[in-house]
Amino acid sequence: MWQNTFKASIRSILKNKSHTLINLVGLSLGTTSAILLALVVRYELSFDNYHENRDRIYRVVTERLKYGEQDYTSGITYPLVDAMRNDFPDIEYAALTDTNQGDPVLGIAQPDGTMERFKEKLVAFADPEYFKIFSYRFIEGSPEALYTEKSIVLSRELARKYFGDVPAVGKLINYNGMYDLTVTGVMENPPKNTDLPFRAIISYRLGADKHGWDDWDSSSSSVNCYILLKAGANAHGLEAKMKGWHLKYFIGDIQAEGEARTYFLQPLSTIHFDQRFTNYSDKVISKATIWSLVLVGLLLFVTACINFVNLNTVLIFNRAKEAGIRKTLGSSKLHLLGQFLGETFIIAVVAVLLSSGLAELSLIQLAPALGYQL
């Protein structure tokens, strides 16, 4: 019975070729658009979700009264990290990250005595505790890599670029022609969905140039402070303790600058979506935009379904005549219902398969252009 119903559905679909084609095109395009938007939303929501202790990681950010208006910055002063580490026992680890050194030139000594130099982007200085806060998979070395004097941790990409398939740990890299760094670790390449896209990380305490900003007055948006709270510690409680805490460090001429500032904690899960602040990936998207994409995707899919229903309604009178003839010839209501539902099911399945293929083809073109890894 069901075999006959299936054959009848196929014959009916092939009989109404133009109607079937319009249905397939409309439903496929709507579904493809919805799939692509769903992938974009999933990608944006996945930023830095892979860190093991993500629920306890925060960035210390600043609210300032500047020229009579509220101003927000992710930048902090250089002494802040040590002060927080010493003054707040709720903090398990604290680390400064600094990309304010520009794009450094890293030099690799060659067998003939020459120095091959590379100007690199996405190189940061960081405190040794950085790898205690964030989760990185080490190919060589360990999360204690930055505790070694004048050390650098490379991504797999840079390690292969500089040293090929030879183990990189123990090799020397010259930094800006000033001093040599020892490779103490090789980490997996950072994923696309991170706001910490560093390709190399240098031990901060052993060489970062503070540009003379080693007081509490000056700050830079490129200098950030990340903390990992102890298990069970309350972030709101820590923020309450931070109210006015810093004023003891703003003395003399910089007292007014301290009074104009308020330090508070920004959860790692919000860094990618909070447009008040910048981040190291230079990618910030608001939650409102995310929900707009979700709404557009749903509307496109619902519209495609409504059009599908409307197009099938056009044939209702012809199908009613066909149903009357089939009933006269002995077809049951169940058989007729099965045929009509079968036609709809076949078209829907084909449309979904086409949508999957179209989405995959679209991603090949869109993902590199948008910088996504969907």
Instruction: Kindly report the three-state secondary structure assignment for every residue of the chain.
Output: CHHHHHHHHHHHHHHCHHHHHHHHHHHHHHHHHHHHHHHHHHHHHCCCCCCCCHHHEEEEEEEEEECCEEEEECCECCCHHHHHHHHCCCEEEEEEEECCCCCCEEEEECCCCCEEEEECCCEEEECCCHHHHCCCCEEECCCCHHHCCCEEEEEHHHHHHHHCCCCCCCCEEEECCCEEEEEEEEECCCCCCCCCCCCEEEEHHHCCCCCCCCCCCCCECCEEEEEEECCCCCHHHHHHHHCCHHHHHCCHHHHHHHHCEEEEEEEHHHCCCCCCCCCCCCCCCCHHHHHHHHHHHHHHHHHHHHHHHHHHHHCHHHHHHHHHHHHHCCCCHHHHHHHHHHHHHHHHHHHHHHHHHHHHHHHHHHHHHHCCCC
pLDDT along the chain (374 residues), means of 10: 50 58 79 89 93 96 83 91 94 93 87 89 93 96 91 96 94 91 96 94 69 73 95 94 91 80 94 94 93 94 81 59 52 51 68 80 72 60
Q: How far is CA 222 from CA 125, 193, 225, 257, 281, in A?
A: 11, 20, 10, 20, 11
pLDDT of residue 329: 47
The residue type found at 74 is S
pLDDT of residue 274: 95
- Give dist(CA 202, CA 209) in Å, integer: 12
pLDDT of residue 67: 73
Nearest to 105 by CA among 83, 87, 121: 121
Contact, 98 vs 123, CB < 8 A? no
Nearest to 228 by CA among 60, 98, 91: 91
pLDDT of residue 102: 76
pLDDT of residue 340: 56
Main-chain dihedrals φ then ψ at residue 106, nearest 5 degrees: -105, 130
pLDDT of residue 210: 59
